[in-house]
């Protein structure tokens, strides 16, 4: 991480809603040397009176609507009037083979659009859904053919569909954090995927997880470093826009 990256984050107030995979990122952030900002778990809007990276448990796992609602409520409790950057993420358990991806994305998109209108000074970040490890190769193909892993492959495909929609909708804003892409890219840059019904589907790099879904400490640290870089970029763009707005008055 570049030395010059840290001061920018140290001057902003960030709010992050998450569950378990997000906690791995938060732990890695808190352990980052010279981060320059306090990492605290809180739902108190008073915490945003100063620069801070505040996080909270958002909604219920398996219920993406509850997470949209909880994040919006957090903004309405005074956080939206104080925070500089805000975001939340779904978990892999929120998107499965039975999920109506288009409906979930519609709810998410409407929630974020409404918040953007209500809090125009806040930079809302958009995060792709994290992945699970799904076996590839001939053994994975055989397990799918015998029905052993058909469900987990179908689950992962739905996450890929959602992430594709999110990238298409928000990539040009510069306010996306592609966690799924980080999880599916090996240290040497090789993409990790499996083939499901003829379609390549990204999957979590095996070495990045100890249980098939949650990140190891090194993998979480790698993702956290990229999150810090993204937050610094968003903060810099926000500062430029604020300066331009002030110069017009």
243: domain CATH number is 3.40.50.1110
Percent above pLDDT 90 for the chain:
78
Per-residue pLDDT band for 241 (boundaries 50, 70, 90) equals low
- pLDDT value of position 180: 98
Closest to 5 measured CA to CA, from 36, 42, 38: 36
Per-residue pLDDT band for 142 (boundaries 50, 70, 90) equals low
- pLDDT value of position 4: 39
- pLDDT value of position 144: 53
Cα–Cα distance between 53 and 12 in angstroms, integer? 8
149 pLDDT more than 70: no
53 pLDDT more than 90: yes
Mean pLDDT of 94-100: 96
- pLDDT value of position 196: 84
Mean pLDDT of 117-144: 83
- Quote the number of domains for the chain: 1
Q: What is the pLDDT of residues 3-48, one digit of tens each?
A: 434 458 889 999 999 998 889 999 999 999 888 899 999 999 999 9
Mean pLDDT of 57-61: 96
Mean pLDDT of 54-80: 97
Give, to the nearest 10 degrees, the angle between helix 101-118 and helix 150-170.
30
CA 90 vs CA 53, 87, 99, 179, 230: distances in Å:
19, 10, 13, 11, 18
- pLDDT value of position 5: 44
**Cβ-proximal residues to 131 (8 Å cutoff; 6+ apart), any chain:** 92, 156, 159, 180, 183, 184, 202, 203, 204
How do 126-127 and 123-124 pair as beta strands?
unpaired
Least confident of 103-112, 154-163, 236-245: 236-245
Cα–Cα distance between 36 and 176 in angstroms, integer? 23
227 pLDDT more than 90: yes
The boundaries of the domain holding residue 228 are 5-247
Q: Answer positive or negative: Cα dihedral of 192, 213, 68, 30.
A: negative
240 pLDDT more than 90: no
Closest to 118 measured CA to CA, from 147, 77, 67: 77
């Amino acid at each position: 991480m570049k030395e010059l990256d840290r001061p920018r984050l140290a001057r902003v107030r960030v709010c992050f809603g998450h569950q378990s995979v997000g906690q791995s990122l938060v732990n890695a952030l808190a352990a980052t040397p010279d981060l320059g900002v306090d990492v605290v778990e809180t739902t108190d809007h008073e915490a945003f009176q100063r620069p801070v990276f505040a996080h909270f448990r958002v909604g219920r796992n398996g219920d993406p609507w509850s997470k949209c609602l909880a994040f919006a409520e957090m903004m309405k409790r005074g956080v939206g009037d104080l925070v500089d950057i805000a975001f939340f993420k779904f978990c892999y358990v929120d998107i499965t083979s039975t999920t109506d991806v288009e409906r979930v994305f519609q709810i998410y998109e409407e929630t974020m659009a409404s918040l953007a209108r209500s809090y125009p000074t806040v930079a809302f970040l958009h995060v792709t859904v994290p992945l699970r490890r799904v076996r590839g190769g001939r053994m994975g193909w055989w397990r799918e053919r015998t029905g052993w892993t058909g469900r987990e492959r179908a689950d992962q495909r739905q996450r890929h569909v959602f992430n594709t929609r999110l990238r298409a909708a928000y990539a040009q804003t510069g306010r996306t954090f592609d966690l799924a892409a980080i999880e599916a890219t090996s240290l040497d840059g090789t993409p990790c995927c499996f083939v499901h019904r003829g379609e390549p589907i990204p999957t979590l790099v095996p070495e990045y997880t100890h249980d098939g879904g949650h990140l190891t400490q090194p993998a979480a640290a790698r993702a956290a470093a990229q999150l810090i870089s993204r937050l610094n970029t968003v903060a810099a763009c926000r500062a430029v826009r604020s300066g331009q707005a002030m110069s017009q008055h």
